[in-house]
Amino acid sequence: MGAPQQSVLTADANTAALENLFGCSPQLVAVTPAQDVIPGMRRNLILTSGPSLPFEDYSGGQREALLGAAIYEGFAANRAEAEKAYASGEVDVAGCQQYGAVGSLAGVTTASMPVLVVEDPDTGDRACCTLYEGDAVDRLNYGIYSEATRGNLDHLHDDVGPALDRVVRRHGGVALTPIIARALTMGDELHSRNTAATSLFARTLLSAIADSAPADARIVADYLTAGDYFFLRLAMAAAKVMANAMRGVDGSSVVTAMAFSCREFGIQVAGTGDRWFRGPLPTFEAMRLYPGFTEHDIEFMGGESVITEVVGLGGVAQAAALPLQRSSGGNAAAMIARTEQMYRICAGEHPQLRIPALDYRGTPVGFDVRAIADTGITPYLDIGIAGVGGGQIGGGVARAPREPFLLAAQALAGH
């Protein structure tokens, strides 16, 4: 008998990769400075979103965030000195995912910043993500560095990170998949909407908060109730750990990472290891901008929160988050149709993550680069919209570019 057809081999490999993902059980185990937990992290290394680029290739808000990070870490007193620090090699820059981290928007992660440490207890694999900076206008990951930004980062470092770490350890860690699964049935898709997940997380820790020292209890309670987006950073780190479980499956054509910088979008695939396939930036299909802003005010500063889409959340699960129609544009019928289309380019359905509006069908999961190449359909991405000059100016639904997926499919065909 001849060798099995390539399509059969690919399907088997994709099934194996997805089984690895489904068997992953990410847990929050600690909140600690990046330099203490990210392998290879050092004081003069600053991580940012997207496949790694030389510093001179970063522009706009992502460049401003990197300059602000160098100032914050004490390598410079102002922007001009920060530019020189990067140019001289005193400060280095690299992509977050090269070091097992993920970053929101500009994704800036420095050695001293507290990060959420998420671990799969069976494999010991870990991923990290910085804490949510809150709803303030002056956020480093939205390209703004000011005294208000510094004050907020200091508060996260000095107060929130240590207090949250003590509470999490008192609780014995927090299993994240049950929170994610339930939040999907309560209106979240765990990217642009994390209202239910943030509330469920706070409730999970309520007893540990109550048993903590009064100062820790107040700090953590104030932080977790100040907004709805805290859990996004946990969803990102959990998604990274789950996506990592699919890596290294020979012949598999499922995507294991997605990220973009200010200039390009990149993906990694299970069967091709750590190689990045790169292409142009995403394009918006629907959006809702804050009053006073137009499409001319939009700027891409990077983003790695699209790792949530890789594991069956975010844009592929829009049918679970119909409240987003009021903040990201579109309507309920369009959101349901988007999720239904994603099944055409995914290798499977998630057995634990289910969508009530689709009669509890599992979310589409495992972007198959071969299916994308064949159909021309690309992933939907739910992303926050940054503005020229920094800050968030809205939210929207974007489409990933075709080029990286085509390049990956061609690379697999050449194996």
Read off the pLDDT of residues 70-88 as tens digits, 9 standing for 90 and up. 999 999 999 999 999 999 9
Q: What is the mean pLDDT of residues 124-133?
A: 98
User: Sheet of 174-175: strands edge to edge?
Assistant: 101-102, 126-130, 114-119, 27-33, 174-175
Rounded Cα gap, residues 304 and 177, in angstroms: 20
Read off the pLDDT of residues 143-169 as tens digits, 9 standing for 90 and up. 999 999 999 999 999 999 999 999 999
| Residue 241's pLDDT band (cuts 50, 70, 90) | very high
- Which amino acid is located at 214 in the chain? P
Q: Is the pLDDT of residue 68 over 90?
A: yes
Q: What is the pLDDT of residue 415?
A: 62
The pLDDT > 70 percentage for the chain reads 98
| Total Cβ atoms within 10 A of residue 196 | 22
Residue 87 exposed, middle or buried by CB count within 10 Å (0-12, 13-18, 19+): exposed
Read off the pLDDT of residues 337-357 as tens digits, 9 standing for 90 and up. 999 999 999 999 999 999 999
Rounded Cα gap, residues 94 and 189, in angstroms: 29
- Give SS3 for 83: helix
| Residue 8's pLDDT band (cuts 50, 70, 90) | low
Residues 49/304, Cβ–Cβ less than 8 Å: yes
Q: Is the pLDDT of residue 259 over 70?
A: yes
Q: What is the pLDDT of residue 36?
A: 98
Q: What is the mean pLDDT of residues 246-271?
A: 97
CATH assignment of 246-413, given 3.30.70.890, 3.90.1700.10, 3.50.50.60, 2.40.50.100? Answer: 3.90.1700.10
Domain ranges of the chain: 26-236, 246-413
Strands, E assignment, 171-297? 174-175, 255-260, 265-269, 277-279, 283-289
Sign of the dihedral defined by the CA atoms of residues 102, 108, 110, 115, in that order: negative
Read off the pLDDT of residues 276-309 as tens digits, 9 standing for 90 and up. 999 999 999 999 999 999 999 999 999 999 999 9
Q: What is the CATH number of domain 26-236?
A: 3.90.1710.10
Dihedral angle computed from the Cα positions of residues 113, 259, 322 and 341, in that order, rounded to the nearest 10 degrees: -160
Mean of the per-residue pLDDT values of the chain? 96
Question: What is the CA 185 to chain-centroid distance, rounded?
Answer: 21
Q: What is the pLDDT of residue 10?
A: 82
152 phi and psi angles, rounded to 5 deg: -70, -45
Q: What is the pLDDT of residue 395?
A: 94
Q: What is the mean pLDDT of residues 119-130?
A: 97
Q: How many CA atoms lie within 13 A of 153 on its CB side?
A: 25
Which pair of structure tokens corresponds to residue 265? 């979008």
| Residue 7's pLDDT band (cuts 50, 70, 90) | low
Q: Residue count of the chain, please give it.
A: 415
* DSSP secondary structure letter of residue 312: T
- Give SS3 for 16: helix
Which pair of structure tokens corresponds to residue 273? 């290891």
Read off the pLDDT of residues 92-109 as tens digits, 9 standing for 90 and up. 999 999 999 999 999 999
Q: Is the pLDDT of residue 5 over 70?
A: no
Query: What is the pTM assigned to this prediction?
Result: 0.96
| Total Cβ atoms within 10 A of residue 273 | 10
Read off the pLDDT of residues 204-214 as tens digits, 9 standing for 90 and up. 999 999 999 99
Q: Do domains 26-236 and 246-413 have the same CATH topology?
A: no
For residue 360, give every residue at least 6 positions away whose Cβ sits within 8 Å of its Cβ, in sequence order, or none.
354
Residue corresponding to tokens 């975010």: 314
H helix or E strand, kind and range, residue 92: strand 92-95
For residue 158, give every residue at least 6 positions away whose Cβ sits within 8 Å of its Cβ, in sequence order, or none.
none
Rounded Cα gap, residues 300 and 239, in angstroms: 22
